[in-house]
Amino acid sequence: MPDQRVVLITGTSSGVGQATARLLSQTQYKVFGTSRNPASAEIILDVEMLSLDVRKDDSVLACVETVCSRGGRLDVLINNAGHELAGALEELSLEEARAQFETNFFGVVRMVNAVLPLMRQQKRGHIINVGSLSGLSAIPFLGIYSASKFALEGYTEALRHEVKPFNIHVSLTEAGFLKTSMMNNRQVGVNRIGVYDPWRQRSLNAIRAYEEKGPGPELVAETLLRIISSNTPRLRYPIGQQAKSVARLRRFLPAGMYEQGVRRTFSLDRAE
């Protein structure tokens, strides 16, 4: 199809990225997926898998060049690659925090900087950053992860204003807790401070329970398809009832009442 739109999705070896690649490949899009180890990734029909490590400049540039060479252009970039780091903030080393930001935030910056020259030349394009509810309301004991998603919120909003004159759209998804493979791949800081043990465990147990009851990655994939199909895409897209409710509560509840709700949500004030 000569008018087939070309989409590049980072982090498609599992979860949201994989579900999105599968869904978009079944429609009118030419999809390129990425993984640090594409040879071991699940094969998705009509999705071309490329090697990509968003933490490395040369890997990012090589990936984008390959997409442009094989696809002829790049219409949509979906920045999905990421991981979660858990632990009390005091427990996490600067090296661990930097590694979290290197993927979740600076990886997005690298990808955007690599595709913008092409999109400006084309005078069109769409960049979608996969954010999180934790970028609106910080999650205790996922503090560095939340911080990386808060940073993504500000970056995405500023980027949207800056590239609008070039007919480049910028959007952000904000999903609540999801039942995906990420829940089984969560990293926990190496250093453990014993006094945090009860609260850390309660919070992580609560997070796991919400994830077990949450929707699958297909819900995000369907939203992403709707976003890139829109002629007038919005900046923010809360996904799931939980994300929509939290956004409203954060906006309208008194700060003290909202804070109490967060502590109750993660069982932080439960009696021993």
Closest by Cα among 64, 63, 54, 25 to 42? 25
Distance (Å, whole) CA 250 – CA 229: 30
Catalytic position from the list 29, 145, 155, 237: 145
| Closest to 111 measured CA to CA, from 55, 173, 71 | 55
C-alpha distances out from residue 107 to 34, 81, 152, 214, 250, Å: 13, 8, 11, 27, 28
CB-based contacts of 195: which residues, under 8 Å, 6+ apart?
Answer: none
196 is known as an active-site residue: no
**Full DSSP string of 32-48:** EEEESSGGGSPP-TTEE
Rounded (5°) CA angle 185-191-194:
110
Do residues 239 and 219 make contact, with C-beta atoms less than 8 angstroms apart?
Answer: yes
Q: Which amino acid, one-letter code, is at 65?
A: E
What is the Cα gyration radius of the chain? 19
Active site residues: 145
